[in-house]
Amino acid sequence: MSRIHYDLNARGTILELGHATKVMGIINCTPDSFSGDGKLDVSSTLRFARKLIREGADILDVGGESTRPGASSVSLEEEIKRVIPVIKILTQKTKIPISIDTSKIDVARSALDEGAVIVNNTRGTQMNNSFLKMVRDYKASIVIMHMRGTPATMQKYTYYKNVVNEVVEELKISIEKCLGVGIKKDRIMVDPGIGFAKTVDQNLALISHLNRLNVLRCPILLGTSRKSFIGQILQKDVEARLMGTAATVTAGVMQGVHIVRVHDVKAIKETLKITDAILNAHT
**Catalytic positions, written as ranges:** 227, 261
First to last CA, the chain: 12
CA 178 from chain centre, in angstroms, equals 18
Task: Give the C-alpha separation, 62 to 161, whole Å.
Answer: 34
